[in-house]
Amino acid sequence: MPVNLTIDAVRDRLAEALAERAELLHSHSEDQVLVQVRDAELLEWLAQYLFDERFYLVTLVGNDERELEDRCFKLYYLFSHPTTDLFVLVEYLLLPPQPETYPSLHTWFEVVSCFEHEICDMLGLRPNGPRSHDVATGSWLHNRYPEGLHPLRRDKTTSRLRQDVLDHDRTAAAVRGGPGAPILPVGPVHAGIIEPGQFRFSMAGEAVNRLGIQLGYTHRGLERLFQSGVPLLDGWWLAEQASGDSSFAHSLAYCRAAETLTERPAPLAAERIRGLFLELERIHNHVADIGMLAEDVALGPYAARLSIVREQLLRLNKRIAGHRYLRRVNRPGGVVLPGELDVRDIRETLDDSLGRFYAIAKRLQGRVAFRARTIGVGQLTRDQAVRLGVTGLVARASGVPRDCRWDHPYGVYDDRGLGRDRTNESRRTDRAEAEAGDVYARFLTRVEEVNESHAIIRRILQLWGGLRKRERLRLLDQPKVLPENNYTFAVGYAEGFRGDVVYWLMQDKMTRIYRCKIRDPSIVNWPALTESVRPRVEHGRSVETMVADFPLVNKSFNLSYAGNDL
């Protein structure tokens, strides 16, 4: 495929390839091509075409539309082009004689596996062919829930679903390993104050032979709640509950989808506030993660100093947004602030706290003990990252430059004066080390991104100073739900500190939500954690991960349990 293609060139190539094969539908966004597919063979042909053109799968949405015009279940595949600001959204209809099965795209896009398991649990839809044996219920809804619950089907009321769960026998099955393969189960309740999830280590002495991960313990039924009468303009509050440390990114992604449906973009000042707060969320989370890495390698004094830096940042959030985790700020149509933005406070607090952060990070880089524990441990190669379809920080630390702030610029990131400067000081780390895919690379990537976010915030504050007073006061344009967009869907996204947060939102009648699909970056990155501890041969020698190193590897990924379980 030619490189440096324009959006129009990619769109024209796709239209030419699809001529007389599939129907192109109207899309609300200029950066999206919407294709409707009714034939399994055509879906597989299109998957092969997109794979050859180096598109990657962003998310897969299952939707029960049996009461709507087409009277069937539907799947919506969202693909992104790797080098241009273009999405391809494929709408696939599950029609008779197989109204509850579909062709799997696993041959081309392995990342589809996590979505297939989720759709199997939530909607009872399975891939046909050989993949039907690989995809089973129990990934999200395990022993705590009755078999066949499928809560995203619309033929059961919420009260009926709740009663079915209460009536179910929740006795857990015992964990058993195969002959000669000792199983070490860890969790779901852990020693630290963290979310629940079970890790099942198949052991070979002290080394990890295979890792199984059982999630779903923090499942709250969020997507069902969205379609249970939540008004379209109020869904931001529920989006904030998806993953607590990414509240701002989640509410922003939701609001961007809602703004597309209401056809009311946020004012310029609101977009700059959003960019500022998104970077503040990234900074305090990266600082916290680096502190936890230091603690896991027994460098407590470094962890303690970093916790002080993080506390300063959280207090700054409280002063300017009214909440330490930047909640209750985003709304469809803009933002709500408790008072006037104190630019001087932001600048001085960041310069002071991040100055100390950079000094601590530099000392960590120079510690032989830290490097010995992190270099070569929990390695995810670039080829593995591409094959698994990982995203965000984990992908970037493995040499895959996926970042929707720059790949699909939105809001303040679409400002030409804010474009990514690859000569910036934040990019001068040894690229070989920063893209090696191990724990140390993920540490370096976090340090780089704190530096980059600091530079972005400085630029945003300059742009803020250039606004007239009346522009700074215009933070919210109250939108109205448009009846002509009933049963229309839109996509919203934001680059959170873990990676791209994506919302697929369909409007219902009576100003409510028909379906809201949340895609936190963790759902596509959990398989990469398993891959990173798998035994491998490197330069003719066997490389294994010790069980004692797993907490460090796990923390370097820092994936969200709640963002996965929803």
CATH code of the domain containing 88: 3.30.460.80
Structural domain includes residue 214: no
pLDDT at 417: 63
Q: Report the alpha-carbon distance of residue 234 to residue 320 in Å, rounded.
A: 23
Shared domain for 278 and 374, answered yes or no, is: yes
Longest dimension (CA), the chain: 72
Cα separations (Å) of 504 from 75, 97, 238, 431, 491? 12, 28, 14, 35, 5
Listed residues 122, 141, 156: the one ending a domain: 156
The vertex-481 CA angle with 478 and 486, nearest 5°, equals 160
CATH of residue 560's domain is 1.10.645.10
Domain-embedded: residue 239: yes
Distance (Å, rounded) from C-alpha 46 to C-alpha 48? Answer: 5
pLDDT at 145: 82
> 108, 138, 156: which is the final residue of a domain?
156
Tell which residue, 226, 255, 83, has the closest CA to residue 158. Answer: 226
Residue 287: the pLDDT is 99
The values of phi and psi at residue 212, to 5°, are -110, 140
Same domain, 409 and 537: yes
Same domain, 136 and 285: no
> Cα dist. 22→7, 36, 41, 46, 421 in Å?
20, 6, 11, 9, 40
Q: Using CA atoms, how far apart are residues 302 and 422, in angstroms rounded to an integer?
A: 29
Please report, in angstroms and rounded to a whole number, the separation of the first and last CA atoms in the chain. 37
* CA–CA distance, 246 with 552 (Å, rounded to integer): 21
pLDDT for the residue numbered 22: 76
Cis peptide before 483 (omega within 30 of 0): no
At residue 129, the pLDDT reads 85
| pLDDT at residue number 421 | 52
Q: What are phi and psi of 202, to 5 degrees?
A: -90, 120
pLDDT tens per residue, range 357-414: 999 999 999 999 999 999 999 999 999 999 999 999 999 999 999 999 999 999 999 8
On whether both 433 and 533 belong to a single domain, the answer is: yes
Give the residues of the chain that fall short of pLDDT 50.
422-428
| pTM of the predicted protein model | 0.95
* Structure tokens, 5: 């293609």
Residue 159's DSSP bridge partners are none
The residues facing 214 across adjacent strands are 198
Q: What is the pLDDT of residue 1?
A: 52
Phi, psi angle pair for 257, to nearest 5°: -65, -45
Query: Tens digit of pLDDT for each residue in 423-442?
Result: 344 444 577 888 999 999 99
Enumerate helices (H) and strands (E) in the chain, giving the number of each.
Answer: 20, 17
Record the tokens describing residue 82, joined without a space. Answer: 């790797």
CB atoms within 10 A of CB 347: 13
Number of domains in the chain: 2
Contacts (Cβ under 8 Å, ≥6 apart) of 216: 139, 140, 141, 142, 565
Does some domain include residue 321? yes
Q: What pLDDT shows up at residue 424?
A: 45
DSSP string, 149-205: --TTSTTS-HHHHHHHHHTS--PPPPP-PPTT--EEEE-SS-SSS----EEEEEEET
53 and 151 inside one domain: yes
Identify the CA nearest to 257 among candidates 59, 488, 55: 488
Q: Of 134, 156, 178, which residue sits at a domain end?
A: 156
226 and 147 co-located in one domain: no
Based on the domain organization, do 111 and 234 belong to the same domain? no
Quickly count: other Cβ atoms within 10 Å of residue 307's Cβ: 16
In a domain, 168, yes or no: no
- What pLDDT is stored for residue 179 in this prediction? 60
Give the torsion sign (CA, 257, 261, 265, 266): negative
379: domain range?
222-565
